[in-house]
Each structure stands twice: as structure tokens, then as C-alpha cells.
Amino acid sequence: MPALQHARADDGARIAFSLREAAPGLPRIAFLHSLGMDHALWGPVSERLAGQASLLCLDMRGHGRSDKPPPPYGTERLARDLRDVLDHVGWSRTVLIGASLGGCVSLDFAAHHSERVQGLGLVDTTAWYGPDAGLNWNARARRAREEGLAAMIPFQETRWFSDAFRVSRPDVVERCVRCFLGNDVPAFAALSDMLGRFDGRHLLTRIQVPTSIIVGEEDYATPVAMSQALQRGIRDARLTVIPAARHLVQIERPDAVAAMVTRLLERVAASA
């Protein structure tokens, strides 16, 4: 992927991003990653989309090479970070693709900065983690603080990838493990607490752009039922379920995710 650059958010935090520019007039796509990952999560998909669009991949606040200020964290703050990066690179509008945590931020951005969104892609995402969300996410945050991130690796690996993929591509699994272990524990815990508080169900009716949803059939971090709820709540949203895949479908099945993005671009062009 292209070398990382930095933009300043309105509170002074540095937000890292990579930018792969395409020919003038082609679409512009911004990507937001999942919790514990960074911009490289989108590498396999970006490779497949190169030349079709300009591609902007962020390290969200608290991750990667971006700053990791103390809590609290909120989806509104992370959405403003995206706005500030878009301003920095001179993009007035974008097709926005978010995965999991990045999907929650994308919902917030699409609802509150609608004039800047041409299309929306939600990958293994939910608008609400359910009535036990606070309890479950607070437990993950507490474990990270008390035991460290290494203690969570067996749990994470089985959530990220199917059994068959973990056997066939241990090198890819190891790269994700290294990325996860590189996280700042206080930031990871604060973002986990944030997801426990997040309830974006009221945002769904405010989204009026072409929307595509994709989820792994075996994803038990954000199960298929959560994507179905997104589809019901967003006008004319389209859902694709990827057989035998789990939470990080953009790595396990990059061809399918890239194809979803391409179809979304076609819908955006047709609606212009």
C-alpha cells in the first residue's frame, strides 16, 4: 500500500492515512477498518480496486500510526476525524466503506455528514450489539486492561477467520495477530467501551444513498441477523452473505468484497 501520511483533526490529533490516487474523474472511496486492525486491513481489496477509483484508507484514532489520546472515544469524534482527513486531501464527497467498528463510524458519518457521502458499504457491521452489549464489551475492555492483548488472541483468531482459512493461511493470521498486539491497551479498552454504548438504530432512516451490506455466513462477532436488521432499516439496502467466512471477510474473501464495492460504484453512478 502507499506510504502513510498524516492529517490533523480539529482537536490536534494526528490521523494516519494512505492514499492511492486514480485518474481524474474516477470515483473516490474511503475505507474504515475494524477494531484492533489498521489501514492494512484493506490491502487485499485495494489491490483489486486499483485503477477503478482513488482509495483512501485510514488508521482510525486509537489505532496504527494515528494518535491515541486518552478516552473518552465516540463514533461522533471518529466521524469528525474522517471529515478532517477528507478536507485535508481535498475530497468533497466519497463512497464510504466501513467494517465493524469502522461500519459504526460510517453509519454516524453517513447520518451526520450526509452531503459528503455518495454511497455506503457496510462490512460485518451492526447498528447495535444488543441488550447485553455494555456487559459484553465492558468485559472485553476489562480483560484487555487486566490480562493484556496477548491473552485475547485465541478468541480473536476464531472470530476473525474460518477454521479452514486459519489452517490454509497461517501467515495471514500471524500478520493480523501482530497488528492486534501492536494496539495501545488503554485506547483498545476505551474503543471497546464505546462499542458497548453504541446504538445507531435511529440513524438508519437518515441514510438515503445507495447502500451495500456484506457479511460472513459464519460471523459470530456481527452475525447475519445484524446485517439483516441493517438491510431492513436502510432504504433500498442490498445484502450479500459470503458462505463459510467469518468476521474479516475483506481478508478471507477479498474478491467478494471488491465485487461488492464495484457493484456499489455502479449503483452510485446510476443514481447520480
Q: What is the pLDDT of residue 85?
A: 98
For the 5-130+199-271 domain, the top CATH level (class) is: alpha beta
C-alpha dihedral (256, 260, 262, 266), degrees to nearest 10: 150
How do the pLDDT tens digits run along the chain, 272 residues long? 788 999 999 999 999 999 999 999 999 999 999 999 999 999 999 999 999 999 999 999 999 999 999 999 999 999 999 999 999 999 999 999 999 999 999 999 999 999 999 999 999 999 999 999 999 999 999 999 999 999 999 999 999 999 999 999 999 999 999 999 999 999 999 999 999 999 999 999 999 999 999 999 999 999 999 999 999 999 989 999 999 999 999 999 999 999 999 999 999 999 98
Please tell me the predicted confidence (pLDDT) of residue 88: 98
Distances in Å between the Cα of 157 and the Cα atoms of 31, 173, 225, 253, 266 are 22, 7, 22, 16, 34
Pick the closest to residue 84 from 142, 12, 183, 186 (CA basis). Answer: 12
Burial class (CB in 10 A: 0-12, 13-18, 19+), 123: buried
State which amino acid sits at residue 212: S
Domain ranges of the chain: 5-130+199-271
